[in-house]
């Protein structure tokens, strides 16, 4: 996580739009990087007060007042408001890091992408798992051709019990755009497509289910946020899907906030010459290879890496892009738009009861 030579992160004046939990998470890491955290914006007075107290920075109710004071903004609002603030910040001439997903709907995501294409500033999307050390190593070996042609990725982001507080914006479709698929499944889809170098997607088949969050007897040990009960839950809590690409590569997806099976964070990358297993939860990375030297044999290699704060590494990459004025090659808006199209395809496939084309 090295910034460009001669660049001081404090040279970049940064603001945060959306001062909830993820906004504070980003603010803490920006401070640790030495960025100049000028202030934040939120429509909620309590959130503004908390931010000022925590970070000794300005806080505004109007985004324009913040935009006038900064060079770049992090947008960490609920999904429905991504478009409003991303587009206005880009039109203001600012550089933008927009938290995932790109938006709550495909139509909104497409408008953000169009604004990013026309803007002078940089827009990067917050898929932080790409910056995990094992992922960096896996992509390095992939680039060397160690796996041959990668033809399939099995992607899992499964919680046994992990429905967010019912009644929060996460469980309200009008604000979030969906449930487990758009919240955590989005990470699994992005990482799988990253391992495939973002090929053209042609077809998606999937089923998004709601089996737990709408029940009076939903059983859990811990819950993020307050629980207002099943009447305030109108989104999916698990999804199974299959993704087909134009070059024949495929992705199988399992994502869930709640399901009656053990937690699973496994990603399996299968290639013609080798493969890999990455456990997103533990950070374990194993390479699967074979050879004939000395006799036919199979080799499993465990790879140890340093622990990395993925959000902090993502921020460093963004600040480097701001410093150089060059849009980052990863976490681009166009890649995030591809992910959004897959999400939309899975929801359409659920509604239609069949596979749907997304290349038309």
Tell me the C-alpha distance between 210 and 161, whole Å: 13
Residue with tokens 């001062």: 19
* Residue pLDDT, tens place only, 10-52: 889 999 999 999 999 999 999 999 999 999 999 999 999 999 9
Tell me the C-alpha distance between 42 and 59, whole Å: 8
Q: Which residues of the chain have pLDDT under 50?
A: 1-3
Q: What is the pLDDT of residue 323?
A: 86
The predicted model scores a pTM of: 0.96
Q: What is the pLDDT of residue 3?
A: 47
* Residue pLDDT, tens place only, 71-89: 999 999 999 999 999 999 9
Tell me the C-alpha distance between 161 and 179, whole Å: 14
DSSP string, 171-235: G-HHHHS-SHIIIIIHHHHHHHHHHTTSPPEEEEEEEEE-SSTT-TT---S--SS----GGG--S
- Bond preceding residue 101 cis, omega within 30 of 0: yes
Tell me the C-alpha distance between 186 and 245, whole Å: 17
Q: What is the pLDDT of residue 6?
A: 60
Q: What is the pLDDT of residue 1?
A: 45
Q: Tell me which DSSP letter residue 122 carries.
A: -
For residue 79, give the nearest of 163, 140, 169, 17 by alpha carbon.
169
Tell me the C-alpha distance between 325 and 90, whole Å: 14
> Cβ neighbours of residue 135 under 8 Å, at least 6 residues apart?
129, 191, 194, 278
Whether 202 and 244 have beta carbons less than 8 Å apart is answered as yes
Tell me the C-alpha distance between 340 and 360, whole Å: 15
- The C-alpha R_g of the chain, in whole angstroms, comes to 21
Helix residue spans in the chain (DSSP H): 21-33, 45-55, 63-67, 82-91, 106-118, 133-143, 173-176, 180, 186-195, 310-324, 333-352
Q: What is the pLDDT of residue 324?
A: 87
Q: What is the pLDDT of residue 4?
A: 52
Do you know the residue count of the chain?
Answer: 360
Tell me the C-alpha distance between 189 and 9, whole Å: 31
Q: Are strands 36-41 and 13-17 parallel, antiparallel or unpaired?
A: parallel
């Amino acid at each position: 996580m090295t910034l460009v030579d001669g660049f001081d992160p404090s040279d970049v004046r940064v603001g945060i739009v959306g001062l909830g939990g993820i906004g504070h998470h980003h603010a803490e890491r920006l401070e640790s990087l030495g960025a100049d955290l000028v202030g934040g914006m939120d429509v909620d007075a309590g959130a503004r007060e908390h931010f000022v107290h925590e970070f000794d920075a300005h806080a505004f109710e109007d985004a324009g007042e913040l935009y006038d004071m900064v060079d770049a903004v992090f947008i960490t609002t609920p999904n429905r408001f991504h478009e409003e603030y991303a587009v206005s910040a880009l039109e203001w001439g600012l550089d933008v890091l927009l938290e995932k997903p790109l938006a709550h709907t495909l139509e909104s995501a497409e408008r953000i992408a169009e604004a990013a294409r026309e803007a002078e500033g940089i827009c990067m999307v917050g898929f932080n798992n790409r910056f995990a050390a094992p992922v960096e190593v896996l992509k390095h070996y992939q680039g060397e051709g160690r796996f041959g042609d990668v033809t399939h990725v099995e992607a899992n982001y499964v919680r046994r019990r992990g429905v967010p507080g019912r009644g929060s914006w996460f469980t309200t479709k009008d604000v979030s755009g969906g449930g487990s698929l758009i919240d955590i499944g989005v990470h699994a889809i992005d990482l799988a497509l990253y391992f495939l170098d973002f090929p053209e997607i042609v077809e998606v088949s999937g089923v998004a289910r709601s089996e737990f969050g709408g029940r009076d007897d939903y059983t859990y040990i811990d819950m993020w946020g307050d629980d207002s009960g099943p009447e305030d839950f109108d989104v999916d809590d698990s999804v199974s899907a299959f993704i087909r690409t134009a070059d024949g590569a495929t992705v199988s997806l399992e994502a869930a906030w709640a399901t009656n099976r053990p937690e699973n964070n496994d990603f399996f990358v299968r290639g013609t010459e080798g493969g890999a297993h990455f456990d997103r939860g533990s950070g374990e990375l194993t390479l699967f290879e074979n050879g004939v030297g000395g006799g036919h044999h199979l080799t499993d290699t465990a790879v140890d890496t340093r622990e990395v704060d993925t959000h902090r590494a993502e921020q460093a990459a963004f600040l480097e892009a701001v410093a150089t004025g060059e849009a980052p090659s990863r976490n681009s808006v166009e890649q995030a738009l591809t992910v959004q199209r897959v999400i939309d395809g899975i929801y359409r496939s659920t509604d239609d009861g069949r596979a749907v084309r997304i290349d038309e």
